[in-house]
Structure 1
Amino acid sequence: MIEVYYAEDDETIGKSVKEYLEQQNCKVTVFDRISDVRKALIGHLPTVVLLDWNMPDGQGNELCLWIRERWKYIPIIYLTVRGDSHDIVTGFQNGADDYVVKPFDLAVLYSRILALLRRIEGIDNTKLSCDDLMLDKERTAVYDGKKEIVVSQPEYRILLILMENKGKTITRNQL
């Protein structure tokens, strides 16, 4: 199931996107504040993030940059009224994978989400990262920035489980 976090302060638009995507068997959570999206992302990562540019407590481009600093491969799509070329270019430069100008057709939005997810399926998942920490599964090595950290095999396995399940709660039994 595709899980969507949608940052949208317009209740009508948020509701219509949520209803349509849920009819397509997506799970959608709409947030009307950037701060709420950040809190949710720290706790759990969705399949895709949809961002409005103008929000009551900040700008979607700031949130996009914040997400990209932490999670390189999470798909991000802007849904915004800001349709001039400068804004579109800025959106992509900030890390967006797609940019949709309002008003838009809901079926086209869903098709764009599916197309984006097809493209990222082939991404090499041999390296996992969280902030400055990077785990290389091919070399079974852990790095802090560019410096390799020596860890024991049990420590490596625990770190691997935690990083593969970033944003999820892991029980002691799972470790």
Structure 2
Amino acid sequence: MTDIVNVFYVEDDKDEVELMSLYLNRYNLQPKIVLHIADTVDEAKQMFNLEKYSLALIDWNLPDGTGGDIALHIRNADSSFPIVFLSGLVTVSLVNEAKTYDPEAFLEKDYNKKFIEEIYAILKRDS
């Protein structure tokens, strides 16, 4: 794995983006993650094909759709691309709906070290 990895991050809440960036830097794990941020489904669909990413972190609830809309777009381009869904509240029904997109994980947003380590573990597993 290289020293820097590009991660596609879809999140409409600027405070959540700030928290993710802050905690990725706080724990200073390797490799360094560079976040490429989209805040709507439409923007995410346009951005995905512009860069080579190692992982997609996708908020489930977005102003113009769901994370599933983006995952479907990604799956049409690359059926094995690693996707992690994120939500402030993870329910059984939400996880069951998300499973249809074959994600690596569905994580509840909790910016502690374990949450960040789970993201890194998925990156390492899929590299």
> With structure 1 as the length reference, what TM-score do the two structures score?
0.62
Tell me which residue corresponds to 1:15. 18
Q: Distance in 1 between matches of 2:112 and 2:58?
A: 15
Contact map agreement 1:65 1:95 (CA 8 A) in 2:
no
Of the three residues 94, 111, 115, the one matched with 1:105 is 111
Of the two structures, which has the highest relative contact order with CA contacts closer than 8 Å and spacing of 6 or more?
A: 2
Of the three residues 38, 43, 65, the one matched with 1:31 is 38
SS at match of 1:79: strand
| Cα deviation, residue 95, structure 1 | 2.1
Tell me which residue corresponds to 1:94. 101
**One-letter identity of the residue aligned with 1:94:** Y
| Cα deviation, residue 44, structure 1 | 1.2
Q: Distance in 2 between matches of 1:74 and 1:85?
A: 23
Question: What CA RMSD, in Å, does the superposition of the two structures yield over aligned residues?
Answer: 1.7
Percent sequence identity over aligned pairs: 22
| Cα deviation, residue 22, structure 1 | 4.2
Choose between structure 1 and 2: higher helix proportion: 2
**One-letter identity of the residue aligned with 1:107:** K
The count of residues paired between Structure 1 and Structure 2 equals 120
Larger Rg: 1
Contact map agreement 1:18 1:30 (CA 8 A) in 2:
no
In structure 1, the gaps of 5 or more residues are 122-175
Name segments (4+ residues, structure 1) moved above 6 Å.
none
The answer to whether 1:50 aligns with 2:57 is yes
Matches within 5 A, 1:111-150: 111-121=117-127
| Cα deviation, residue 114, structure 1 | 1.9
